[in-house]
A and B are shown apart, each in its own frame.
Chain A
């Protein structure tokens, strides 16, 4: 990426959404517990290829990489992830509804 041609730098900024902050936090937590490294994060990001930069947002790429690293580390299996994601989707159509697991512990 460094050294390539590209258009003007887009000036926009936004405040991070809760789910984005959680992705960032989970990446830090996973590193603290020895389940992944910054290099592991980057390896998966780079493997995604350039089209991922057109179609996915920053923290979408991060959560995809986080998940890949955690499965490789054996933190959980892909089957467990699939079951959990289906269960989360059942809870509702918005992030707030879906994130509210048992007893509304969500912040």
Chain B
């Protein structure tokens, strides 16, 4: 699933975008930095000491690259179509997503449901805790001091910056993640999706809708 794009009115200059639509970041051809030097040194020391192997590090990277918001979207689509699954998911999300085959490790996963009257949004004020097993690595903005500072203080203003304008009649619940407890927002199923199958529904579920900073796509 492609990443979500926020139209904040910024000109990103779409000259050099990667296949996922983001600018490439200078990598191998830029001058070596101190911290890159440290990464190489740490990795080689751990390999020389027999703590790890190059293959283990590479396998970890590949496992991480394989995780994407499509995993979370499949969970949400199942919840939209299978009331018994949804009940299990909201009661205890960890075993519910494991039954779909997703490895979430020892984490306590909590699924929170958006309705006509409640909108949930997740943040990690301490660092960058995120349901990475279901959504992949967190987006840059999730890790910024601006998002982490303000989401717990003025969530409606933050959500408005993401284009989510909520009426006062909707209660906003902010969930602060921890190292051991991660949240997944189950967005409300959009109107006009009656009769759509799970796969078609999953395509409507954006990454940001599962963080709470977005809403699902409307059916075409």
Q: Which residues from chain A sit less than 8 Å from chain B, CB to CB?
A: 1-19, 21-26, 28-30, 33, 35, 38-39, 41-42, 45-46, 53, 56-60, 63-64, 66-67, 70, 75-76, 80-81, 84-85, 87-89, 92-99, 101, 105, 107
Contact = CB atoms under 8 A, between A and B. Distances in A.
Q: Which of A1, A11, A29 has the most CB of B within 10 A?
A: A11
Given A25-B60, A81-B45, A98-B36, A19 B146 contact: no
Given A15-B18, A15-B25, A76 B32 contact: no
A14 B140 contact: yes
A54 B3 CA distance: 26
A7 B146 contact: yes
B51 A99 contact: no
B66 interface: no
A18 B27 contact: yes
30 contacts: A1-B125, A1-B148, A2-B151, A6-B149, A7-B146, A8-B146, A9-B144, A9-B146, A10-B141, A12-B141, A13-B139, A17-B25, A17-B26, A21-B64, A22-B57, A23-B39, A24-B64, A25-B64, A26-B39, A30-B46, A35-B51, A42-B127, A53-B145, A58-B128, A58-B143, A89-B37, A93-B32, A95-B28, A98-B40, A105-B54
Contacts, number: 195
B147 interface: yes
B42 A70 contact: yes
Interface in B50-72: 51-52, 54, 56-58, 60-61, 64-65
A105 B12 CA distance: 36
B156 to A, nearest CB: 13
Question: Which 10 A/B pairs are nearest by Cβ-Cβ distance?
Answer: A2-B125, A96-B28, A25-B60, A38-B179, A84-B41, A17-B27, A6-B149, A4-B149, A60-B35, A6-B146
B108 to A, nearest CB: 13
Given A11-B6, A35-B51, A95-B30, A26 B43 contact: yes
A10 B44 contact: no
Contacts of B31: 93-94
Contacts of A85: 37-38, 41
Nearest to A83: B41
Given A10-B140, A38-B179, A70-B46, 15 more contacts: A2-B123, A2-B176, A4-B145, A5-B149, A9-B147, A9-B162, A14-B22, A22-B61, A26-B42, A35-B51, A39-B179, A60-B33, A64-B35, A85-B38, A94-B32
